[in-house]
Chain A
Amino acid sequence: MADEAALKNTADDTSMSLEIIDIKAPVRQYVQENFYGASPQRVADGTPLITSGIIDSIGMIGLVAFIEERFKIEFQPTEINAQGLDTLDRIEALVRRKLEPRP
C-alpha cells in the first residue's frame, strides 16, 4: 500500500514540488517486478543493478523507457551509463537533476 501511494507522487503531478516527488518507489517497484520475479529479496537503495548483472543490456531499454515515461524526462545519450543508473540512489539523483528547472 505504501508503494501504491508513493507511485502517485510522481512527476505526473506537475504542481507538486520536486522535494516531495518520490522517485525511488516507482523505480523500485518496476525493478522488483521486472527483474526479481518471485524472489522475496527487496531492492535496496544501494543495490547495484547494472554492474551486478541484475539488469542486463536488454533490460536497460525497459528501465530507461520506464524512467523517461514516468518522470516525463528525456535522457541524452551521454547521460545514460551504468554508473549513473546503477542504484536507486543514483537514479534518484539523476532524475532530480533532470527535473530541476533550468535557469
Chain B
Amino acid sequence: MNVRIASAAYAVPPEIEKVEAVLARETTRVEAALAPLTPRSRDRAKEGLGLDRVRVCGAKQPFDLALEAASAALKEAGVSSQHLDLIVDYSTFPGEDHQVSFAHKLSAELGAETSLNISFKAGGCAGLHLAIKTAIAYMNMDPKIQTALLVTGDTPPKGNRTLLPVTVQGDAGSAMVLRRQGDNPEADGPKIEGPEILDTRVLTLGHLYDAISLVRTNGHLGIAVNALQIEHEVMPIYYLNLYRLVQEALEATSLSLKDIDHFIYSNISQRDREGFGRILGLNDTKLPVTPMTEYGHTFASDLIINYVTLRREGKIRPGQLLLFASAGIGFTWGVTLARV
C-alpha cells in the first residue's frame, strides 16, 4: 500500500523559559529523582543535555497547539477537513485540564464531520511510529480511509518539567497528514506528493511501564522518574533495541545504512543524540543540528520539528531516504523509513 507523508507542521507557545531556571525551580524534584543513583551517575545526569530554553504553555494550551499545527498541515497538504477520514491523537501529556480526546475535539473544531476519531496515550516520544502504524492499519482495513491526521500536543504537569536523568521537557503540538495513493492513479486522482512510507516498526516492553509514569499524589498529577530502573533496566537495552529496529527496517526494505540520507531523531539531549549517532556510525551531516536548544525535548513532536526544520532548510530532496527513530515511555521504540 502506498501511503505518503503529505505534510507536517508544528506549533510552540510563545512563552520561553531557560532550562537553567527550570532546573533551579525544580531542584527538590531533581534531587529526589537522582538520589538513588551513585554520585558519578548523578553528576552525569546533569551533563550533556544540550538544552538551553524551552517553550511553556501559557495562553495557548496543548490542544490549541495541536489545532494550530493540524490546520497548517492540512493547508499544506491541500486537504479539506471534510475529506479527513481519520484523526489519531497520540498525546502523552495533553494537559491536566484536558480530559476530552483531542481527536474528537479536533474533528469538531476543524469541521471534519465524517472523520473516525481515536486517541491513545502510549509511546511517549515513540508515539509517532505507533500513530503511523495505527493509521496504516486502519487504511488497510477500510479502503474508504484515504487521509489521516496524526496529532500530538504535550505539556508536563506543573512542576514536572525536569525528567532527569533523561531530559527537560518543552511544550509543543504537531501534526502529520498521511495520504493513501490508490492503486489506480488515473481513477484515484493526481499523484500524492510527499515521502512514501516504506516501513514502520515498533517495539514495546511492558515490564518497563513505570520507568517514567504519571502518578497522582495528594490530588496532584506528577511524572515519576525511576532513575534506577532507567539506569539499570532501560539504558542497557535502549540503543540496542533502536539499533535492532533500524536493522530490521533496512533488511525488510533491502536497504543499508549508507542508503539513508537523513536520520531524524529525538531531541532528548545532546548526549542521547551522540549515542544514537555512535551506534549507527553517523557524522554531523547525517544527524544535523536541530532546534533542540530552543525548544527542549517536546516528546513525540521532536520528530516532526526536526523533519519540518530539514524541509525548511531545503535539505530534503526527491529520491532521498529518511529514517525516523525514537524511543519513549511505555517503554517503546520505533523506526519509520520513508522515501521522498
Give A residues with C-beta under 8 Å from B. 50-51, 57-58, 60-61, 64, 77-78, 80-82, 85
Q: Please tell me if the beta carbons of A60 and B203 are within 8 angstroms of each other in the complex.
A: no
A-B contact pairs, 22 of them (CB 8 A): A50-B232, A50-B236, A51-B232, A57-B235, A57-B236, A57-B239, A58-B278, A60-B239, A61-B240, A61-B279, A64-B240, A77-B205, A77-B237, A77-B241, A77-B244, A78-B205, A78-B207, A81-B236, A81-B237, A82-B232, A82-B233, A82-B237
Which residues of chain A are near B275, meaning CB under 8 Å?
Answer: 57-58
Interface of B is mostly: helix
Q: Scan residues 231-261 of chain B and give those whose CB is less than 8 A from a CB of chain A.
A: 232-233, 235-241, 243-244
Number of residue pairs across A and B with beta carbons under 8 Å? 40
Which residues of chain A are near B244, meaning CB under 8 Å?
Answer: 77
In the docked arrangement, what's the CA distance between A47 and B205, Å? 27
Which residues of chain B are near A58, meaning CB under 8 Å?
Answer: 239, 275, 278-279
In the docked arrangement, what's the CA distance between A89 and B294, Å? 47
Q: Please tell me if the beta carbons of B205 and A60 are within 8 angstroms of each other in the complex.
A: no
Going nearest first, the 9 A-B pairs with the smallest beta carbon separation are A82-B236, A57-B235, A60-B240, A57-B239, A61-B240, A50-B236, A61-B243, A57-B238, A60-B236
Q: Please tell me if the beta carbons of B233 and A81 are within 8 angstroms of each other in the complex.
A: yes
Q: How far is the CB of B283 from chain A (nearest CB, A)?
A: 16
Q: How far is the CB of B164 from chain A (nearest CB, A)?
A: 17
In the docked arrangement, what's the CA distance between A16 and B239, Å? 34
In the docked arrangement, what's the CA distance between A92 and B309, Å? 47
Q: Scan residues 180-233 of chain B and give those whose CB is less than 8 A from a CB of chain A.
A: 203, 205, 207, 232-233
